[in-house]
Amino acid sequence: MKLDAKIPSGPIEKKWDKYRFDLKLVNPNNKRKFDIIVVGSGLAGASAAASLGELGYNVKVFTMHDSPRRAHSIAAQGGINAAKNYPNDGDSVWRLFHDTVKGGDYRAREANVYRLAQVANGIIDHCAALGVPFAREYGGLLANRSFGGAQLMRTFYARGQTGQQLLLGAYSAMMRQVAAGTVKLYPRREMTELVMKNGRARGIIARDLVTGKLETHAGHAVLLCTGGYANVFYLSTNAATCNVSAAWTAYKKGAGFANPCFTQIHPTCIPRSGDHQSKLTLMSESLRNDGRIWVPGKKGDKRAPGAIPEEERDYFLERRYPAFGNLVPRDIASRAAKTEVDAGRGVGPTGQSVYLDFRDSIARKGEDKIRGEYGNLFDMYYQITDENGYKAPMRIYPAPHYTMGGLWVDYDLMTNVPGLFAMGEANFSDHGANRLGASALMQGLADGFFIIPYTLGGYLAGNKLEDVADSDPEFRQAAGEAEQKFKLLLSARGRKTPSEFHRQLGGVMWSECGMARNEASLKRALVKIPGIREEFRENLVVGGGAEELNQTLERAGKVADFIDFAELLVRDALERRESCGGHFREESCTAEGEARRDDAGFSHAAVWEHAGEGKAPLLNKEALEFEHIKPSERSYK
């Protein structure tokens, strides 16, 4: 596999400008002759479709939902970062770049991160212009807040619904293009195959989820904006239908999958209540601005939280990380909670949670102020747990939330498969081994609004693309493969449902490859997962037919891909014998139990290459160079 990141030469501040200048342009009148396939309509997909439509490209957008507005970006709560420096607290493009590289534990590509920080300000401008109702001060200007992992106030927000408001902004911009005729929507469609011709991505096979019919769609480029794979853990904060299938299909067609073991566990989720649980609910970590996290100092202390006196409480984050306290990055906060719970100091009926306490901030600011800032989160907590967070501390526990790994992309956001681009959470590029709070929204919109409009044009203008038609044999063959896949799933006559397999897989992933991993646990997982796959083949039950709305069949397809993908994730975790960011290898830690990176051995992106069914995948490496932000120990003490 050839990995050319295409990082432009020259000083980092000038790279993007120079690169954009060097890119070939598509004549405005020719743009409509190019068919662009966008899979997924979250922040990355909707913003890409909108901006490409504005330029005049002929865009087709595919979403598995009934409406593009349902994509899981909608659920992001906390905010979006930019280096506007409106609060005058010392922010700059350089500092946002620095924080993102450091926050990612030095496993991201400097040039990409710098560009992200550079274009971030434009996102805020554009979203304000699109009518996103950001929080404002009385003077009418935008409000900022500080957010997990940042020591300054660079986060813009719209109450606790920032993702919703940004997605609706991007969606509305896209709907404007639908009206203009440049974007055509294909809702309730699932991409089932990527179609290749002469080594290039030239289309997809999509299944109409209502009729079950397979459709062929040809185009000049395919943009995968299909989100992350946290549902490989079954229980995660992702929506029920989030999946890895589109990316997995691309991987099987030759796209490299980078750093799958970089998964983020979010510290402030509502704990699990029982086996029936279908998902975990995240509460924005903005709660950590005012809530204090603690456990009883004594193991097995069953007293009600209010009955535990101050001196018998252990505010473990404030104790261990005095400089950042409750605002340490997500990976650190999550692991610290796990340490307390594993030591028997967890609280609640399961003992699998820690307190998040607003008593002091309510005393300081008043309940009304707290309600104004976090009311919707307290309501959500009440609805799910039947407990009042204003009166007693909330209980939280970490849950899988975001995945930094994804399809390998170059500076153009193109995978190693020509014509196949990956954007937003679906790619691997900007967050390294750990994503900072409020950076996912920034990246999704940066990719779609401000990067792909340029780099896609460069690809289209710089390559001679032959005509393709969806009657070409490549399409017929891919459609045949897709049909076969569904036939196989439906032919199983076993006793276990797709969800049961998913739960089983998730259990293995969480216990053997979750917040902490070691060689033995990972090797156990590599035995258990093929066992699940084997049983899946023999003992699956789906029912119904292929040519109808069949949600069990949809789930079966996703679970099948998750099982295969899980093995790659574990393999990557096993291969990376260092701790960095969200990837914590117990063998690689300091005497105090903090993560220890191994820059000599692992300062690279691990890019996995499909070698064929039943064969071990091949590992390729993209070495990471740090010219500007010298790797240092990521200390938040």
Contacts of 215 (CB under 8 A, 6+ apart): 186, 189, 205, 206, 207, 208
Contact 174, 50 (CB under 8 A): yes
Q: Residue 590's CB: how many other CB atoms inside 10 A?
A: 10
Nearer to another protein, 196 or 560 (CB): 560
- 186 strand-pairing partners: 62
Contact 450, 123 (CB under 8 A): yes
Nearer to another protein, 4 or 275 (CB): 275
Quote the least distance from Cβ 399 to another protein, whole Å. 12
Q: Residue 60's CB: how many other CB atoms inside 10 A?
A: 22
d(CA 249, CA 269): 31
Which secondary-structure segment (H or E) carries 21? helix 15-22
Quote the least distance from Cβ 79 to another protein, whole Å. 14
d(CA 288, CA 273): 22
Quote the least distance from Cβ 273 to another protein, whole Å. 4
Quote the least distance from Cβ 105 to another protein, whole Å. 29
φ, ψ of residue 580 to 5 degrees: the values are: -155, 135
Nearer to another protein, 178 or 362 (CB): 178
Nearer to another protein, 164 or 216 (CB): 164
Output the CA torsion sign for 617, 621, 622, 627.
Answer: positive
Quote the least distance from Cβ 136 to another protein, whole Å. 5
- 207 strand-pairing partners: 190, 214
Contact 101, 110 (CB under 8 A): yes
Which secondary-structure segment (H or E) carries 500? helix 498-513
CA neighbours closer than 13 Å in the CB half-sphere of residue 243: 25
Nearer to another protein, 274 or 300 (CB): 274
Nearer to another protein, 497 or 518 (CB): 497
Pairing of strands 214-218, 406-407: unpaired
Nearer to another protein, 30 or 67 (CB): 67
Q: Residue 598's CB: how many other CB atoms inside 10 A?
A: 14
Query: Where are any strands of DSSP class E within 253-393?
Result: 257-258, 263-269, 292-296, 313-314, 354-357
d(CA 340, CA 313): 12
d(CA 396, CA 293): 9
Nearer to another protein, 190 or 622 (CB): 190
For 12, 157, 570, 584, the CA distances from 364, given in Å and listed in that order, are 45, 23, 46, 37
Quote the least distance from Cβ 302 to another protein, whole Å. 14
Contact 515, 584 (CB under 8 A): yes
For residue 178, what is the DSSP state?
A: H
Nearer to another protein, 72 or 435 (CB): 72
d(CA 53, CA 179): 11
Annotated catalytic residue 330 = yes
Helices (H), 58-204: 93-103, 110-129, 162-180
Contact 448, 183 (CB under 8 A): no
- Annotated active-site residue in 313, 330, 335, 345: 330
Quote the least distance from Cβ 443 to another protein, whole Å. 16
Quote the least distance from Cβ 510 to another protein, whole Å. 18
Quote the least distance from Cβ 634 to another protein, whole Å. 31
Contact 100, 116 (CB under 8 A): yes
Quote the least distance from Cβ 277 to another protein, whole Å. 7
Nearer to another protein, 90 or 274 (CB): 274
d(CA 177, CA 41): 14
Active site residues: 330
